[in-house]
Structure 1
Amino acid sequence: MTGNFGAMSIAQLSTLLQAGKADPVQVAEAVFEAIDRYEDKAVFVSLLKDRALAEAHASSKRMREGRSLGLLDGIPIAWKDLFDIEGLVTTAGSKVLAKAAPAAKDADMVDLLKQAGMIAIGRTNMSEFAFSGIGINPHYGTPHNPRSTDVPRIPGGSSSGAGVAVAANLVPVAMGTDTGGSVRIPAAFNGLVGYKATRGRHAMRGVYPLSRSLDSLGPLCRTVQDAAWIDAAMRGLSPALIQKRSSNGLDIVVPTNIVFDGAEPGVVAAFESALERLEKAGVRITRQALPAFERILDLMAQYGPLVTAEAYALHRERLSGPEAADMDQRVVARTRLGEKISLSSYLAILDARAGLIAETEALIGDRFVAFPTVAHVAPAIEPLLADDQTFFAMNVKTLSNTALGNFLDWCGVSIPCGTGDAGMPVGLLLSGSANHDDRLLAAAVALEEVVRG
C-alpha cells in the first residue's frame, strides 16, 4: 500500500501498521521522500535518515514477529531543535550553539518515545532560543505557513517548523515546547491540535530551557486522541483510547476581559460559532471576568515579564560577549530587558504568581476555560521583517492570550474551530487548572468534533 502517510492522524496510520497494511520502513521512506519534495527547506534543520531507517527496520521486524510495542510503534515523529538527539548538536535555532559539543544521549522524551517504537525523522526549525511567538528565524530561514493562499504568512512560534511539518503533511506529529504559547500558537495558525501539558508533567532533561518556571512540553498533531496517546508515552505509559464522554453537562468559563481585546472580527465570529455549537450539545457556558488576567498585566508593567527575567539569567554572559552579534538582534533586544528586573522584583513576581494561581483555581473550580488561542490569524511575514517595532508589537499581541495560561500554570489544548480573515485557521483554546491534564484531554476528545463543526 502507498499513500501520504504524513497526512494521516496517528490513529489512522497506526491502524494500517498494526494490521500489516503498511510497513514502518515503507512509511519512513515515504516521509523522507515527501520532505525532499517539499519546496520550503526551512522546516527542518536536520534529518535523521540513517537513524530513522534503522528504527523503522527494527519496528518492521517486531511487527512481523508479532512483538509490536503498541499503538505508536512505527509512527514517525519530528523533534523541535531544543531536544537533545544523541550525536547531534542542539542548536536551539541559533548559530552561536552550532559549535557546541554533540549530545551524549537522547533527551528523556526522545528516549521514551523511542521505547514506544516511534521513529525520529529529524529536528524542526524554531525561533532562536524559543524566544518569540512569531516563528521568524534569520539564521535557518522562516518556514512559511502552508495554509496561506495569498501572501507568505508566519507559521507561529516558537515551534514553527513543528507546526509546518504537520500542517504540510510531512509527518503525523511533531514535538514542541511551550513557554508562552509556543505549541498552541503554531497549532492555531496552522489549523492543528496543539497540547500544552502542565509544567512538570513531562521530564525536561535534555531539553534546552528558556524559562524554568514556565517551560512545558507538548505535541502538535491532527486530533486530541493523538495528543493523548503521545502524552501517555511521554510518561512511560501505554497509549489507550480515551472513552468519549458526553459533552452534556460540561462546564466552560469564557472570560469577558483581556482575551478579546483587539480581536479580529473573523476570529471572534469563528469562536462564537463554536460556542453556539457547544451550547447546543449541552455544554454549560458561563461568561465572567477573571481578575487574575488584569493582575498579570499589572505585574508585567510593574516588574517586567517573568520569562524575560529568566531568559536574561540564562543568556547574560552570552549577551555581554561577542556571541551577541551573531544572534537575532530582536531576541537580543528582548532578552536584555531582563537586566532591568532586580532580584527583589523577580521574587515579587513569583510570590504574586503563587497567589494568583490559588485565587484563580478557587474561582474556576473544576470548570474549564475557553477563549481564542490567538486573537488574530497568522499575519504576513514581510511587514514583520521590514520593521522591528511592527515585529515587537505583533509578538506581544500573538502571545497575549496563551501566555496567561503559562503564568497560571494551566494545561491547554488548542482545537481548530473555523477560519478568519483570508481563510486562515482559528483556534479555540480549552484550558484547565494545573495537573488536570487527564480531565482536560478527556473533555477535549468529547468536544473536538463539535468545536471543529
Structure 2
Amino acid sequence: MSYASPQLPLEADALAMADAFASGSSDPVKALEEMLARVAEVDDVFISLCSARAFREAHSSAARWKAGQPASALDGVPIAWKDMFDVAGSPTTAGAAVRRDITPALLDANVVGLLARAGMVSVGKTNLSEFAYSGLGLNPHFGTPHNPVGFDQPRIPGGSSSGSAVAVAAGIVPIAMGTDTAGSIRIPAAFNGVVGFRSSCRRYSREGVFPLAHTLDSVGPLTRSVRDALAIDDILCGRTKSTSLIPRGLAGQRFWVDPSVLDDPRVEPAVRDNLLNCLSVLKTHGAQIDLRPSPAFQATLHLIEQQGWLGAPEAFALHQPLLDSEAAARLDPRVRRRLESARTFPASQLVNLYSARDRLQQQIADELDGAFLITPSVSHVAPPLAPLEADDELFVRTNLATLRLTMPGSLLDLPGVSLPSGCDALGLPTGMLISAPAGEDFRLLRAALAVEAALRQP
C-alpha cells in the first residue's frame, strides 16, 4: 500500500523566504509580524519569546537587504531555539520547573551568536521534554505541544525537541534548532513530517548549550528542506562561499538497507511500505540499493538492549546534585525515575560501553565503505497523547520503542538526516533516516539533498 508524501513545498522554506526579501516582495519585519501572529494560534510550542530582540534584528536585516548587502543567504529569516540554548536575556529552562526563575543568560550560545551575525532573527525558546530526557515530547510543567498533523485526536510531537519540530511543521518558523542525544531531532522530525539533521557530536559548538550526556550530545536544525539545513551548515562551519544547492544525480550512489530492520514486527506496515516505496524511487534514479545485513548496526542494537544506554549514567552524573536535593520533588516524576535508574549503573559496564562504542564506530565505517545507511527514523507514527499521559507503564514502553532505531546512530555518532517518507492511512507522517559515519556530515547532506529532490518529483 502506498501513501501520499507529506513533503513541504520549497516555496515555504527559509531560502525561499530570503529570495522574497531579495526581490522586495516581502521583508524581515513583515515576516516576523506574520510569525508572531501564528504563535498566538498554537499552545505550548514556545516557552518564551524575545520579541524586542527579534524586531531589532529584523529591522537591521531589512536595512541590509534594502542596501543590497545581506549578511548571509539566511539574513532576516526567523529562527527558534530549543530551550537548551542560551539566548542572551532569556533564562535557559531546559524544560524544567526548577529552572523557571534561573538568572537569564548573559551571552548567546556560540551557535546562536554565529547565526545572529549571519542576520538570522531569534524569535524565542521552544518547548521540550524536561532536561531533553524523553523521545515523546510530553512536559507537565510547560504543557505538551500537539502534533499539528494529528487531526483525528491530539497526538504527541515527539521529543525531546518537541516545540522546535512543531514550530516548523505548523508554519511558524522555517528553521528551529534542536539537540539530539538519543534521537531528539530525528524523532520529532519524523512524527511531524519535517527534515531533521543530527550532526556529528563535534561538528557544531556546544558552548552555551545545556548538556544531557557529554559523550552523545549533538545539535542541529529542524527545517522544511534539506537545502535549508545545508545553508545552516554553511554558516556554522564558516564556509564563506555558500554551497551549491543544486542536487547532484543519484546514479551510482550506494545505500545500505538491513532487511531484518524492516522485517521486524515492531515496524508498522505504513513505515515499512513507505520506506520501500522511497527506495524504489531512488533505484529508478540510478541509486544502488544494497539489501543485506549490517552486523555493526545489529550489534549496536543488541549492545544497547543488553548493556543499557550510555547516556543514562552520564545524565545521572550531571543531575546527581539536583536528585540529592529537596528540589528533586519538583521534577517530572517520569524523568526523575529515569535519571534515578542509573544511580547504581556499574562502572565496569560503563567502561565496557565506551570500549564497545569505539570498536563499533570503526566497524560500521568499514562496513559502509562509502555507502549510506537507511533505516526508518521511528518504527511507528505519532501515538495518541492522552493514553501516554494517563499510563506510566505505557509511557515507558512507548518511549523505548520510539528511541530504538535512533539510539544506535547516537551511540556510533552517525550524522543523520530524517526525511519525510510518506503518511499512513490517517495522514500521519513516517520518516526515513539516512546516516553516514562520524564526520561525514557534508557528504551526507549533499546525498540527502539529492534524495529529497528525487522524492519530490511527480
Shorter-chain TM range is: over 0.9
Letter in 2 for 1:175: M
How many residues align? The count is 447
Give % identity.
43
Match of 2:51 in 1: 49
Distance (whole Å) between structure 2 residues aligned to residue 414 and residue 300 of structure 1: 21
Distance (whole Å) between structure 1 residues aligned to residue 456 and residue 320 of structure 2: 44
Distance (whole Å) between structure 2 residues aligned to residue 191 and residue 257 of structure 1: 25
Matched, 1:433 2:437: yes
Letter in 1 for 2:24: G
Match of 1:242 in 2: 245
The one of 51, 74, 77 aligned to 1:75: 77
Match of 2:215 in 1: 213
Distance (whole Å) between structure 2 residues aligned to residue 17 and residue 53 of structure 1: 16
Residues 248 and 282 of structure 1 are in contact (CA less than 8 Å); yes or no, is this contact kept in structure 2? yes
Deviations 1:45-75 (A, max 9, x none): 0011100000011111112222211211100
What is the deviation of 1:345? Answer: 1.7
What is the deviation of 1:341? Answer: 1.2
User: Any unmatched runs of 5+ in structure 1?
Assistant: none
Q: Which structure 2 residues correspond to residues 113-192 of structure 1 after superposition, within 5 A?
A: 113-192=115-194
Residues 377 and 421 of structure 1 are in contact (CA less than 8 Å); yes or no, is this contact kept in structure 2? no
TM-score if structure 1 supplies the norm length? 0.96
Letter in 1 for 2:260: N
Distance (whole Å) between structure 1 residues aligned to residue 387 and residue 359 of structure 2: 40
Match of 1:34 in 2: 38
Residues 6 and 169 of structure 1 are in contact (CA less than 8 Å); yes or no, is this contact kept in structure 2? no
Match of 1:251 in 2: 254
Residues 219 and 227 of structure 1 are in contact (CA less than 8 Å); yes or no, is this contact kept in structure 2? yes
Residues 79 and 122 of structure 2 are in contact (CA less than 8 Å); yes or no, is this contact kept in structure 1? yes
Distance (whole Å) between structure 1 residues aligned to residue 380 and residue 132 of structure 2: 21
Residues 132 and 160 of structure 2 are in contact (CA less than 8 Å); yes or no, is this contact kept in structure 1? yes
Matched, 1:270 2:274: yes
| Secondary structure, aligned partner of 1:110 | helix
Residues 197 and 217 of structure 1 are in contact (CA less than 8 Å); yes or no, is this contact kept in structure 2? yes
What is the deviation of 1:408? Answer: 1.0
Distance (whole Å) between structure 2 residues aligned to residue 422 and residue 324 of structure 1: 40
Structure 1 residues 130 and 259: alpha-carbon distance in aligned structure 2, compared to 1, 3 A threshold? farther
Match of 1:329 in 2: 333
Residues 145 and 152 of structure 1 are in contact (CA less than 8 Å); yes or no, is this contact kept in structure 2? yes
| Secondary structure, aligned partner of 1:149 | coil
Letter in 1 for 2:335: V
Q: Which structure 2 residues correspond to residues 413-424 of structure 1 after superposition, within 5 A?
A: 413-424=417-428
Distance (whole Å) between structure 1 residues aligned to residue 220 and residue 46 of structure 2: 18
The one of 21, 24, 30 aligned to 1:20: 24
Which deviates further from its counterpart, 334-343 or 370-379? 334-343
Distance (whole Å) between structure 1 residues aligned to residue 307 and residue 297 of structure 2: 16
| Secondary structure, aligned partner of 1:206 | coil
Residues 82 and 90 of structure 1 are in contact (CA less than 8 Å); yes or no, is this contact kept in structure 2? yes
What is the deviation of 1:430? Answer: 0.7
Letter in 1 for 2:310: L
| Secondary structure, aligned partner of 2:19 | helix
| Secondary structure, aligned partner of 2:289 | strand
Structure 1 residues 398 and 301: alpha-carbon distance in aligned structure 2, compared to 1, 3 A threshold? closer
